[in-house]
């Protein structure tokens, strides 16, 4: 028997409206409209959060902090890549070749 817990959801398959708990011992299965507004465990930070429409758009629902955190880190990585692409460095590489 699994202890009563907040479920950590995973979309049954991409595009499906059904979500199940990722705990292998938990058989909880529900639909998007039923779990929306409920508390669940975030797939990113493992903290409890309220399932929002935005969160339920993902295969692994995450809290707002994790959704924001992810986009922030992706943007900063892109910025970092752009900073590192120094055209003069490329030019000197071309000369060496």
Query: At CB < 8 A and 24+ separation, what contacts does 38-42 make?
Result: 39/6, 40/6, 40/7, 40/8, 40/9, 41/5, 41/6, 41/7, 41/8, 42/8, 42/66
Minimum CB distance to Zn ion smaller for 1 or for 94: 1
**Contact flags string 7-46 toward Zn ion, x per CB under 5 A:** x-------------x-x--x-x-------------x-xx-
CA dist 16 and 33 (Å) reads 12
CA dist 20 and 11 (Å) reads 6
Q: How many residues bind Zn ion (CB under 5 A)?
A: 10
Closest approach, Cβ 91 to Zn ion, in A, equals 44
* Using rule CB under 5 A, residue 66 touches Zn ion: yes
Minimum CB distance to Zn ion smaller for 3 or for 84: 3
Q: Residues in the site for Zn ion, rule: CB under 5 A?
A: 7, 21, 23, 26, 28, 42, 44-45, 63, 66
């Amino acid at each position: 028997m699994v202890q009563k817990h907040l479920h950590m959801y995973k979309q049954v398959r991409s595009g499906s409206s059904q979500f199940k708990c990722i705990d292998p011992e938990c058989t909880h299965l529900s639909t998007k409209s039923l779990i929306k507004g409920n508390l669940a465990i975030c797939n990113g930070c493992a903290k409890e959060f309220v399932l929002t429409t935005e969160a339920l758009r993902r295969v692994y629902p995450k809290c707002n902090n994790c959704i924001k955190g992810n986009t922030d880190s992706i943007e900063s990585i892109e910025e970092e890549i752009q900073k590192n692409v120094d055209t003069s460095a490329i030019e000197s590489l071309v000369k060496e070749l």
